[in-house]
Amino acid sequence: MAPGRSVRDPHTVLKARQRFLLDGVVSPRSIPGSIGRSWTRCAALGLQMDIQPRFEPLSYREFRDVHARNDELVHAARVEMDALGEDARLTGAIVVLTDPAGIVLSRTGNVEFAELASRVALRPGIPWGEEIVGTNAIGTAIAERQEVRVAGGEHFFDVHRVLTCSAVPIFGPAGELAGVLDLTNTSDIPQVHALALVRRAVEQIEAHLFNARFRDHEQVQFHCDPALLGTMHEGRLAFEDDRVVGANRRALRLLGLDWPDLDGKCFGDLFDVGRGHVMRARSPEGTRFATTQGRNLFGRLQPQRRPPAAAHAGSDRERLLAQAMPVFDEATLKGLGRATRLADAGLPILVQGETGTGKEMFARRLHAASRRREGAFVVVDCSVTDGTALAGALFGPIGEGEGVAAEGAIARAEGGVLLLDEIDAMAPGVQDRLVRLLRHRGTKRDPAAEPSLDLALVSATRRRLGDLASIGAFRQDLFALLAGYTVDLPPLRDEPDRAALIGEAWQQIASPREIDRLTPEILAVLTAYHWPGNHRQLVGTLRALAVLADAGEVLEPATLPQEMREAHAAPRPETPPWTEEPAALDKITLTAMRAALAAEQGNISRAARRLGIHRSTLYRRLFGPGRHPASHDDGSGD
């Protein structure tokens, strides 16, 4: 029985549980083999199905240490977590990332369901290994070293029967277990494509881990189909002195091997040609060769760029993330260039925009383009409600002084870029300490007591920080210290050519074979949608479509969520009859604009969307020089 089969009869599972409780016998026809093996392991550990497990969360210091040990994994998974999390938000699910032991590192997705998950201890700092939580997708994926779906009563403990979970283990390029990615929702919601979505995200995470570790090593890229070279479907091997030191999963499948089989192997042990033959390939399709087992392949060799010992592990990760979505428009790219030059000159940058508009990606691109690109990129989530925890994460465990300790994010970002995400939510006490620190930035203080703060500071918020400061909801002096240069990222609904942007994003995400699968009918629905989750939601939707296309499913409007189809089917506002009158274009435009504004009760943003123009255009035409603004609501609140 496949680990990801989509239909499992709850009554059959219930009978299997009852039998297991009575005599400890697993019925192989009633439940998947992975579930039966897990139940047996849990029983052998002394766990009992009808007794609720006891959860012991890690202390703040313990969790900080675990998080620090898995920093590479957390950064490699951030983009995929955001994209999958947007899809989870819309479908009432959450996405969970754990370390190799099953300790939850982070989660994202639907806020309401996250509260339910917290009641059953599915939250950061809680271990979800089988030995503690019994049969569950995370712990069982770790024990089985394979993807697992655990639905309802298949969980070992009764308290978890409200969940349906799909988990895929994440492996490092040397075959080591790096962590687990899990998608969880309530047991009454079917997860038809959940494992496919998680599997695809894990492949991307593993690619980031591979590139971060081996970007400067000699690599062979290969596939049996030359059209798939350079895509996420290609196999990749990393070499050091002709010896294999890393591989991705695609390489193992193409070679018919597992990671232990590569131990000590050289190029000639795997392929029927020498490295020089592959290196001489000049065609985009590579050169043709075969494995020693006779399988024909096409491939090319990427030569070593500098000695592996000198490689900077984080630089390729940042480059990959900086090239990822969203697709910024020309005006935003110009703003990025200005922000980068100003950050290099020491000015703090403030990035404002709705959720999903790409604030962190903007900061990552700034880091990649700046003179600090070789330094670290450190992110601090300021929405942490516990001010003490936030202070510890930012300044390090040094008490209530003004300085920073080596363990804090400020110290770790030395020479690089520090992003203060959700800065508007920063606790007042932490604001006070940050003001004191920034006021003395650049002054000569005791170098033994604190670092020189040689970093680029970027703050991000989904709210207008100046407005919050003006009403006393944020420190005015801190706002002045953070807003050296402000960038406002526009929402996706204001993009004047959404169809072109969506098409460009699809080309980034889909494989060459899938690009033509985005039909005009699908594109029309996507273009008409208002995208409340902005670029992040768009990425999640396109990746889901790519997974379905890769699995051979025909893409049609019915494939999309109902809310998107309904937005496309909704009748557009009729052309006002007065536009047919012979009047000057400027008068017609102003009349239509005023009518739209009146229809939306003075809300400029909604009126602009109704007219299909940018809100700044509407404001400028109605209330620019020579115009007299009436009472209106600009709709720019949260």
- Answer yes or no: do 519 and 609 share one domain: no
Short-list 235, 242, 273, CA closest to 256: 235
Short-list 280, 250, 189, CA closest to 511: 250
Q: Which CATH number goes with the domain that contains 513? A: 1.10.8
* DSSP of 120-135: TT-STT-B--HHHH-S
Last-in-domain residue among 488, 507, 532: 488
Work out the average pLDDT over 441-450.
46
Work out the average pLDDT over 36-53.
89
Asked if the structure places residue 198 within a domain, the reply is no
- Answer yes or no: do 104 and 161 share one domain: yes
State residue 616's pLDDT score: 58
* Residue 372 vs residue 400, higher pLDDT: 372
- Answer yes or no: do 35 and 144 share one domain: yes
Last-in-domain residue among 553, 569, 585: 569
Q: How many domains does the chain have?
A: 5
Asked if the structure places residue 195 within a domain, the reply is no
Work out the average pLDDT over 322-340.
78
Work out the average pLDDT over 517-544.
86
Task: Extract the tokens encoding 358.
Answer: 């790409």
Going by C-beta distance under 8 Å and a sequence separation of 6 or more, which residues neighbour residue 143? 37, 38, 41, 130
Instruction: Tell me the percentage of the chain whose pLDDT exceeds 90.
Output: 29
Work out the average pLDDT over 460-483.
92
Q: Report the 10 Å Cβ neighbour count for 584.
A: 8
CA–CA separation, 339 vs 613, rounded Å?
A: 27
Asked if the structure places residue 143 within a domain, the reply is yes
Q: Which amino acid appears at position 508 of this protein? A: Q
Asked if the structure places residue 509 within a domain, the reply is yes
CA–CA separation, 335 vs 480, rounded Å?
A: 20
CA–CA separation, 421 vs 412, rounded Å?
A: 16
Angle between helices 71-91 and 194-214 (to 10 degrees): 160
Give this prediction's pTM: 0.55
- Answer yes or no: do 262 and 407 share one domain: no
* Residue 633 vs residue 43, higher pLDDT: 43
- Answer yes or no: do 15 and 69 share one domain: yes
Mean pLDDT (the chain, rounded)? 80
Short-list 374, 356, 246, CA closest to 318: 374
Backbone angles phi, psi at 288, to 5 degrees: -95, 135
Calculate ∠ Cα 568-569-570, nearest 5°.
95
Q: Which CATH number goes with the domain that contains 338? A: 3.40.50.300
pLDDT digits (tens, 9 = 90+) for 564-580: 887 766 554 443 333 33
Q: Assess contact for 135 and 159: CB atoms under 8 A.
A: no
Residue 633 predicted with pLDDT over 90 = no
Instruction: Tell me the percentage of the chain whose pLDDT exceeds 70.
Output: 79
State residue 199's pLDDT score: 92
- Answer yes or no: do 152 and 95 share one domain: yes
Detail the DSSP E strand segments found in 444-578: 456-461, 485-488
* Residue 340 vs residue 601, higher pLDDT: 340
Q: Assess contact for 249 and 273: CB atoms under 8 A.
A: no
pLDDT digits (tens, 9 = 90+) for 549-562: 776 777 888 888 87
Detail the DSSP E strand segments found in 498-553: none
- Answer yes or no: do 563 and 453 share one domain: no
Rounded to a whole number of angstroms, the CA Rg of the chain reads 27
Work out the average pLDDT over 229-256.
89
Q: 349 pairs with which residues across the strands?
A: 458, 485
- Answer yes or no: do 625 and 527 share one domain: no
Residue 1 predicted with pLDDT over 80 = no
Place of tokens 């309530």: 186
Work out the average pLDDT over 597-618.
67
State residue 325's pLDDT score: 54
- Answer yes or no: do 512 and 471 share one domain: no
CA–CA separation, 120 vs 115, rounded Å?
A: 9
- Answer yes or no: do 480 and 579 share one domain: no
State residue 512's pLDDT score: 72
State residue 314's pLDDT score: 40
Asked if the structure places residue 335 within a domain, the reply is yes
- Answer yes or no: do 481 and 519 share one domain: no
What range defines the domain where residue 343 resides? 330-488
Calculate ∠ Cα 477-478-479, nearest 5°.
90
Residue 137 predicted with pLDDT over 70 = yes
DSSP 58: P
State residue 441's pLDDT score: 65
Residue 129 predicted with pLDDT over 90 = yes
Task: Extract the tokens encoding 370.
Answer: 């700046």
Short-list 209, 138, 219, CA closest to 171: 209
Q: Assess contact for 525 and 560: CB atoms under 8 A.
A: yes
Element (H, E) at 564: helix 562-569
Place of tokens 């938000």: 89
Short-list 624, 619, 611, 612, CA closest to 635: 619
Residue 601 predicted with pLDDT over 90 = no
State residue 570's pLDDT score: 57
State residue 57's pLDDT score: 84
Work out the average pLDDT over 32-60.
87
Q: Which amino acid appears at position 581 of this protein? A: E
Burial of 353-375, coded b for 16+ CB within 10 Å and e otherwise, reads bbbbbbbbbbbbbbbbbbebbeb
pLDDT digits (tens, 9 = 90+) for 415-424: 899 999 999 9
Confidence of residue 385 (pLDDT cuts 50, 70, 90): low
Task: Extract the tokens encoding 147.
Answer: 């993807």
Confidence of residue 634 (pLDDT cuts 50, 70, 90): very low
Work out the average pLDDT over 27-42.
88
State residue 3's pLDDT score: 46
CA–CA separation, 557 vs 567, rounded Å?
A: 12
Last-in-domain residue among 277, 310, 343: 310
Asked if the structure places residue 4 within a domain, the reply is no
- Answer yes or no: do 499 and 481 share one domain: no
Q: Which amino acid appears at position 110 of this protein? A: N
> How far apart, in Å, are the Cα atoms of 317 and each of 442, 531, 540?
30, 28, 20
Q: Which CATH number goes with the domain that contains 630? A: 1.10.10
Task: Extract the tokens encoding 463.
Answer: 């709210």
Angle between helices 615-623 and 604-611 (to 10 degrees): 110
State residue 240's pLDDT score: 86
State residue 456's pLDDT score: 94
Asked if the structure places residue 211 within a domain, the reply is no
Asked if the structure places residue 38 within a domain, the reply is yes
Residue 263 predicted with pLDDT over 90 = no
CA–CA separation, 161 vs 371, rounded Å?
A: 52
Task: Extract the tokens encoding 127.
Answer: 């271990």
State residue 418's pLDDT score: 95
State residue 192's pLDDT score: 64
State residue 341's pLDDT score: 94
State residue 497's pLDDT score: 82
Residue 590 predicted with pLDDT over 70 = no
Burial of 515-529, coded b for 16+ CB within 10 Å and e otherwise, reads eebbeeebeebbbbb
Residue 462 predicted with pLDDT over 80 = yes
Confidence of residue 303 (pLDDT cuts 50, 70, 90): confident
